[in-house]
Structure 1
């Protein structure tokens, strides 16, 4: 069994559009604030609303993927996300917008069900590569969606962004039912068993280490993308939403450049990739922090930062799904709880700090989050080499795959 090219593309598209419903507000925060009368210091809550809904969905909804047909679950959650997006598009009060974004975030956890299903359908020796392709959809949604949102907002306003998302979500729900294979698992857990299993993960060293890395990783990521609009829209640049959205292209280039991380993980280098990428992430804030006088340095910093984030994210998911191949939905859902909390922390921190210490303060906060992730990785590195059985099992499995792939690539006698 394995994923076809068409299946990878559908999985990636679902991830891109669903996650876009959570992050679409970032490049148009200034427009939303002006339209609905939201103070600058409170704009971070517009992004955080979707993240908090996402957090609730990770705990309550993603585990359903270990219970019922994941193809039908994906389609259903896409339609429910559509409902939340429509409410946001028609909001006339701040509380209506926040309610719509919470609902959209709640069911946008279809992203994690999609990633888990892709991991389950992948051939073991190709899981890292497949996860790299599918999670690239997440990056396209977060960063490429900024470009699209900025362009649409310039023509139709910020409400037009959410109308376009609603159309795409409904279309994808139909496409999923027509193109993805049904979930044919013979044995499925009960909801109580799934929640119990999810709770047990939080007592596991591998899971906690990778989860904490994700928490600080996406706090740093959220600090950038939830706050960068503010210095770019202010003096001396005064950029429009469409121009600000173009910075997503820089982030997209960097993140897609890290697609190779999946192959490195398949080859047994996931832990080394994590450490190196976290060092790069921390250093990237030196360039990102220069937004007050150099846009070119910001572009360079954004490329490097997003490359590092995606490399760590793919490596984390590869290790966790390798350790728990029979409950991928639960382990991905639990891992992404850390992601959601970190993203919400970054979104609220950056706008609050910016109000008092400008972009320099926000950049210091982003670098501090990245450094914390590096500390967690360093503390867990010893466990990787001499720790519990889960680490030894993963190393043994990766070595087995690497030897198998090496035999397949070795020329047979008589071949040139």
Structure 2
């Protein structure tokens, strides 16, 4: 399940390091090829809101299989497309179907006994987070050696194989509601209004996501301007961030032992410490500034991911029969935070430089800690 979630969500990010090669191959301008990640993320947002809640209404194992097959078909279509419109349509479909990752994690929560739910959700989330953080590194290497089309084809094979494997090994999941599709979506508003712990968890994680996205969306620009480091070097920082994925199983185990509230507050504090440490770069020589960046990335990634797992564990325990809808609400908040952080981070970098981006991340983390007070 961890591998299935990781391979699925990685599909969202494979294209990002390959945009230059894709644009040159398809004869597309930078602005046009830049629509690929935009449509992928829009598709994912729509999939979270419109498709992820279906896990409560239909047999979840079948949903995982169908989405995996459709995701593989969309990735294959992207790899074989001979013109930009075909790639753009395939990118939208990739985003929609990559939400299969958001079916796998609630399935893990359903299978886990309550006293070990945090630990098992944390293990599956480790795979998902590693998929996010390492996808760009892998696609950059594969595209450079074998071409961008080979990366999409390999990705298609990986998600289809994982879908088939999950279908063969997972038990059957009984639907937890008989609501029609429209009523199912409307019920999410009711859950939001009825559950204050849900609102606090979503708001805190969204605020953390803003700072997280502000950092990663502006890092490459800062590295190029300040250190002359290119896209390959910027992508390598994803490896430093991936070390923070170790937080997921630890956060899950501690959530089971001492409670999700305490773990969430501690995790947010760690993220705030990681961001704040970046303000010390002016006191260091250039070589150590890069070390500080890498160490800080590990620290705040650790905090961000630990908070996410603790919030998931909390949310999944609120109403077990509505786990897919609760998961959709949580990740809608995360996505909104990511999108806002990317835009605000770009504005902060343009107006105030790198330290403005860091201060933005510190401010959003401090607000998240206040929400979880």
**TM-score interval, smaller chain:** 0.7 to 0.9
CA distance in 2, matches of 1:91, 1:357: 41
**2:6 corresponding residue in structure 1:** 16
CA spacing shift, 1:21–1:358, aligned 2, 3 Å:
farther
**1:314 corresponding residue in structure 2:** 309
Q: Per-residue deviation at 1:187?
A: 6.0
**1:74 corresponding residue in structure 2:** 64
Q: Per-residue deviation at 1:13?
A: 1.0
**2:216 corresponding residue in structure 1:** 225
Q: Secondary structure at the match of 2:321?
A: coil
**1:394 corresponding residue in structure 2:** none
Q: Per-residue deviation at 1:105?
A: 1.4
Superposition map of 1:232-251 within 5 A: 232-234=223-225, 236-241=227-232, 243-251=233-241
Whose helix proportion is higher, 1 or 2?
2
1:62 aligns with 2:52: yes
Q: Per-residue deviation at 1:360?
A: 3.5
Q: How big is the alpha-carbon RMSD for the aligned residues of Structure 1 and Structure 2? A: 2.8
Superposition map of 1:184-195 within 5 A: 184-185=174-175, 188-195=178-185
More moved, 275-284 vs 133-142: 275-284
- Unpaired runs of 5+ in structure 2? none
1:38 aligns with 2:59: no
Alignment coverage as a number of residue pairs? 365
Q: Secondary structure at the match of 1:109?
A: helix
Superposition map of 1:175-186 within 5 A: 175-185=165-175
CA spacing shift, 1:295–1:27, aligned 2, 3 Å:
farther
**1:208 corresponding residue in structure 2:** 199
Q: Secondary structure at the match of 1:17?
A: helix
Q: Per-residue deviation at 1:142?
A: 0.7
CA spacing shift, 1:260–1:198, aligned 2, 3 Å:
same
Is the 2:55–2:175 contact (alpha carbons within 8 Å) kept by the matching residues of 1?
Answer: no
Is the 2:271–2:300 contact (alpha carbons within 8 Å) kept by the matching residues of 1?
Answer: yes
**2:345 corresponding residue in structure 1:** 350
2:274 paired residue among 258, 272, 284: 284
**2:90 corresponding residue in structure 1:** 100
CA distance in 1, matches of 2:42, 2:269: 29
CA distance in 1, matches of 2:24, 2:351: 20
CA spacing shift, 1:134–1:66, aligned 2, 3 Å:
same
TM-score by length of 2: 0.87
Q: Deviations over 1:49-73 (max 9, x none)?
A: 3332222111111111111111110
CA distance in 2, matches of 1:230, 1:78: 34
CA distance in 2, matches of 1:133, 1:50: 26
Q: Secondary structure at the match of 2:12?
A: helix
**2:291 corresponding residue in structure 1:** 296
Superposition map of 1:376-415 within 5 A: 376-378=371-373
1:53 aligns with 2:48: no
CA spacing shift, 1:85–1:233, aligned 2, 3 Å:
farther
TM-score by length of 1: 0.79
Superposition map of 1:247-262 within 5 A: 247-262=237-252
